[in-house]
Amino acid sequence: MSRTNQALLLNAAERAAQRPEFLGWVLVKHMANCGIDSKALAASLRCTPDTMPRLFLCRRPRSEQFAQDIAFISARLSIDGGVLSRIVRQVESITAMTANMLPEVGTLLAARTRPESETSVDDRA
């Protein structure tokens, strides 16, 4: 691969990491959660740092074909599928837990005194 293409690929990987549809998004969350850099992540996945931009650009495994997608990605990019699987599951759990906590904020926001103009017919009766 040419140097230009390598630079373009790095840029693409960075942008993919901002979109939840891509593995890059999951991997960046994992690095932030664990306080590790991409070199350490590459080591844990048993691949070289050069593989990371390619991995970032893969789509996230589909929940209905999770094992199959993980196996496919790990075979194609020669990485440790078990580690990748654990990382994706862990990030998904943390994201889901964070999302589940959000409605409480909304409940607090809703508990306000309604202005006179919004008083319902039942209240006025």
Partner 1 sequence: MAARVTGADLGALHRRLVEGDPTASEEAARLLLEPLTSVTQRAFPRLDAQVIADAVVDALLEYFVGPERAQERGVEHIQAYLQRAAWRNAANQYRGSKRRKFREQNWLQQSDVPDVEVSSPLGTLIEEEDAQAQSAKEASLMSLLPDDSDRLILRLRLAGERSTEAFARALGVDNLTIHEQRKLVKQAKDRIDKFLRRHGSKTK
Binding site for partner 1 (CB under 8 A): 1-2, 4-5, 8-9, 11-12, 15-16, 18-23, 54-55, 57-65, 69, 72-73, 76-77, 95-96, 99, 102-103, 105-107, 109-110
Nearer to partner 1, 73 or 87 (CB): 73
Give the nearest distance from C-beta 30 to partner 1 in angstroms: 17
Give the nearest distance from C-beta 105 to partner 1 in angstroms: 8
Give the nearest distance from C-beta 28 to partner 1 in angstroms: 13
Count of beta carbons in the 10 Å neighbourhood of residue 56? 23
Nearer to partner 1, 12 or 36 (CB): 12
